[in-house]
Amino acid sequence: MLVAVDIGNTNIVLGFLDDGGEIAGTYRITTKANHTSDEYGLFLTEFLRMSGFTPDDVDDVIICSVVPKVMHSFRSSIIKFLDLEPMVIGPGIKTGMNVRIDDPKSLGADILADCAGAYYEYGGPALVADFGTATTFTHVDGHGVIDSGVITTGIRTGAAALWGDTAQLPEVEITRPSTILGTNTKTCMQAGLYYTFLGGVERTIRQFRKELDDEGFKVIATGGLGRVFANDTDLIDVYDPDLIFKGMAHIYSRNVQ
């Protein structure tokens, strides 16, 4: 079994992939820089147990991280509890993708894994939309070339700024409202957050199509709130919550071979 670990700004997500590449379980931990390697190790071994596995069932581990300060403790937990040196997506790792942006090294490991997952699972060209702490749109052409992208605030990040920087607006659940016709502060905020964000998503996709002069690329969405928006627009073709794990599995296979 392969354990794939996505260390993001908000959560650390673990995926257990069996020999056939199927995902046997996924688990989330809040990302905290002050967790020790022992704490991460206990989380990991307990999640394995909950899925019916033991540490001996793990053949290898691959890590994708955008939070450098967490890496030391987490990597140490893999070595200590699984007796394995994890593969880390970064310089020197073969991905099969060709990154042609101004500074290829600046591309986040999570975006790279997402794009690999989209390209090898669904083909290209594709626009990969990841709805995470930040929202990213990344274009991959028909030959696996990552050539352009957009980075903006995630809806939760924007919402936190809204109620954090105003004296009388409360914290609200981010959800699709039943109507845009809000009649109280809570529903007004929910409608405003949801529909302005959805409108921005749709306009961004249309602008990519316009400037690339390409009506044919698929739009592949992933990330926590991706499902909500994917169900509310016909501009998103596929929602795949496990896209990053699929990309990491492809990258792992390339390097093992």
Q: Was 111 annotated as part of a binding site?
A: yes
Active site residues: 110
Query: What distance lies between CA 54 and its chain's CA centroid?
Result: 26
pTM (two decimals) = 0.89
pLDDT band, residue 213 (cuts 50/70/90) = confident
pLDDT over 90 (residue 9): no
Q: Locate all alpha helices (DSSP H) within 213-242, ordered by sequence.
A: 226-230
Q: Was 109 annotated as part of a binding site?
A: yes
Q: Which pLDDT does position 124 carry in this prediction?
A: 86
What are the structural domains, with CATH classification, of the chain?
Answer: 2-88 (3.30.420.40), 98-248 (3.30.420.40)
Report the DSSP pairing between strands 145-153 and 98-99: parallel
**pLDDT of 121-178, one tens digit each?**
999 899 999 998 899 999 999 999 999 999 999 888 888 888 888 888 888 888 888 8
Count, in order, helices (H) and strands (E) of the chain: 7, 11
Q: Was 247 annotated as part of a binding site?
A: no
